[in-house]
Structures are given as structure tokens and as C-alpha cells.
Amino acid sequence: MSSNHSKRLWMYAQMVKSRYFEDLIKPAYFEGKTPVFNMAKGPLPGEMHLSDGQEPCAVGVCAHLRPDDTITATHRPHHIAIAKGVDLNAMAAEIFGKKDGLAGGRGGHMHLFDPAVNFSCSGIIAQGMGPAVGAAMAAKMRGSDAIAVAFLGEGAANQGAFHESLNLASVWKAPVVFVIEDNSYGISVPKSACTAVASNADRAGGYAMPGHHVSGNDPDAVYAIAGIAIEWARSGSGPSLIEIETSRLEGHFMGDPEGYRPKDEVKRLKERDPIPAYRARLVAEGFEEAELDRAESEARGKVDQAFAFARSNDYPEPKEAFDHVFA
């Protein structure tokens, strides 16, 4: 099996794993929230931002990363966490607010920290970009060739932190890659209504770094471009920016009525769902169905196991809320 073959099989399996993870979140999220939807109820209270459709961004980038490379991710983090190799049982338990979750239930789905694979995410737009520059500089200053990747949405490119972080990374030649998952909506506001440039990749030039654009929501295309940007960082050439056209197949959060979206848009996007499309391509290029089936079933098995773990895990003791406020 060639290295290319195994990478692509890995990417496919991670996409399936991520999607299946979200597929299990959906019914669990609505438990206790019917017939009257109330975000506070059920085993998964609060906002839930699903990543359906955005898997190619995560797998195409993470296929190049090592555990000592850092990722900072967003409020929509599951696909990236899974592709980075975050402990799936502990991640699921965290999302269910259980005691053996990544943070013992303190963080929840927008605040997943797994230092074993240098993954973190948080809930404020563009907030992870500065920390990614910092992680990159820490690696550089200790003489490591580890890099950092900051994931962000296209809406984040209008934040001050975006522009400041690009400039800082460039001035310091930080080994960091900024990855924009452009799903074309910031909650309800389309990119075209709030962004002065058609392509955020063009903004990289303003900060003297390479800017790449990847169209088609295609894991192979993401993989190819991410390889260039990550090698650029790892070899000491500095930061770069990648803009990936992707699609948000669900609402901004679960329960979002999505009245702002043109009718049929989601239907059209689902017809171009990247996961079956990728499977079809792999089959056309000689992958055996049985091999893909095995990868799928293994991926699903791990997710089933993680959800079973999360469901059966106990809640933490309430008074443990007072732990870890300080180191």
C-alpha cells in the first residue's frame, strides 16, 4: 500500500468518523427537547455547532500534522478535534458534561482541550489565532520543527485579531498556518454582505505571506495545498494562509431555523456532500469497496464506543466545579 493510498484511506475514515459522530449527536441533542424545543434541556444543553460538510478542511490539513503540532480551533470544532486525534472517549464525555471528559465537564463542546495532541478550541471568533502564533513561536524558540495551525471561519477574517495575528506571524516569521474554513455564512450573514474582498486569500499579500485558495470542498485538494503551507512553515519560511471553500450542511447551531438561507440551498449542498463524493472517487481510482467498508465500520465502531463511554460515565460531583480555577 503506497503512502498516498494510506493517507487517503485515513482521510476518508476520519471524515466518516466525524460525520458519524455528529450523526449521533443529533438525536442525543434533541432528547429532552421535544415536543417543545428548549436549549437548556436534555443531556446536551446549550448551543451545538455541527461540522457536517466541513470535514475535508480538517482531514486535508491534519493528514500532515504530528501530535506535537498545535491546533487552535473554533466554536465548530468536532471534525478538527477528531482529525487531530483528540481522545474520542474523553471528547464525547466532555460534550455530555461527564466526569471523565477532557475537562471533567467544565468546558463543553466549544472548549475542548487535549494537550496530549496539542489541540484546543474556544468560542469567540478569531480568538485562537494569537495563541496559534504563540504556540508556533514556542516551538521555534525551543528549536523544534513543530508548527501551529489556527482554524477559523471566513467571518473571523473581519476581526481585528485576524489582521493583527497575520501581521505578527509575518514579522516574527512564525511557523504557523492560518486555515479559513469558508462556509460562506457567519451565522446568518453571507460573506458577500460583510467582507470587502471576494477571496480572503488575497488578504495574505497584505501581510507578506503566501495566500492559497482551495475550491471544491475536496479533501485531496486541501491535502495538496496544506502540504505546501505546512512544509513552508516547518522549513522555517514562515506563515501562510489557506482559504478553503466548504459548506455548512446544518444550521449555525442546532435548532437554527435558517430562514436566512435560500430555499433548496442545503439540499443542493447535500447533493455535493464531500464524503460520498470522496468515496466514489476512491473507488473509481482503484480502492476496493471492501477496504473502504472496513475503514468505515472501524471508524463508526470507535464513535459508538465513545458515545457508550460518555453515556455510561457519571456526572462529576458538583463541588468539583471549584477545582482548577488556578493551576
Which of these segments, 181-189, 241-249, 268-276, 282-290, binds other proteins (CB under 8 A)? 181-189
In whole angstroms, the minimum distance from the beta carbon of 295 to other proteins comes to 32
In residues, how long is the chain? 327
Ranges of beta strands (E only) in the chain are 70-73, 113-114, 119-121, 148-153, 176-182, 185-186, 189-190, 211-214, 240-245
Q: Three-class SS of residue 68?
A: coil
- The residue (of 214 and 310) whose beta carbon lies closer to other proteins is 310
**91, 125, 166, 226: residue in contact with other proteins (rule CB under 8 A):** 125
Three cell numbers written together for 209: 505571506
For the segment 10-49, give every residue that binds other proteins (CB under 8 A): 37-41, 44-47
Burial zone of 139 (CB within 10 Å; 0-12 exposed, 13-18 middle, 19+ buried)? buried
Q: Using the rule CB under 8 A, is 259 a contact of other proteins?
A: yes
- The residue (of 4 and 38) whose beta carbon lies closer to other proteins is 38
Q: Using the rule CB under 8 A, is 110 a contact of other proteins?
A: yes
Q: Using the rule CB under 8 A, is 128 a contact of other proteins?
A: no
In whole angstroms, the minimum distance from the beta carbon of 324 to other proteins comes to 9
Per the CB < 8 A criterion, the answer to whether 121 and 75 are in contact is yes
Q: Is the dihedral of CA 242, 59, 252, 258 positive or negative?
A: positive
**Residues tagged active-site:** 248, 252, 260
Which of these segments, 20-28, 104-112, 175-183, 220-228, binds other proteins (CB under 8 A)? 104-112
Give the separation between CA 107 and CA 114, rounded to whole angstroms: 12
Give the separation between CA 186 and CA 159, rounded to whole angstroms: 12
- The residue (of 130 and 227) whose beta carbon lies closer to other proteins is 130
Give the separation between CA 248 and CA 159, rounded to whole angstroms: 21
Which of these segments, 59-67, 76-84, 97-105, 141-149, binds other proteins (CB under 8 A)? 97-105
- The whole-angstrom distance between residue 22's C-alpha and the CA centroid of its chain comes to 12
In whole angstroms, the minimum distance from the beta carbon of 300 to other proteins comes to 26
Which residue has 491546533 as its cell numbers? 71
**60, 97, 211, 239: residue in contact with other proteins (rule CB under 8 A):** 97
DSSP β-bridge partners for residue 245: 182
For the segment 299-318, give every residue that binds other proteins (CB under 8 A): 315-316, 318
**6, 260, 288, 301: residue in contact with other proteins (rule CB under 8 A):** 260
Three cell numbers written together for 238: 514562515
The site for other proteins (CB under 8 A) is made up of 37-41, 44-47, 94, 97-98, 101, 104-111, 122-126, 155-156, 158-161, 186-189, 193-195, 255, 259-260, 315-316, 318-322, 325
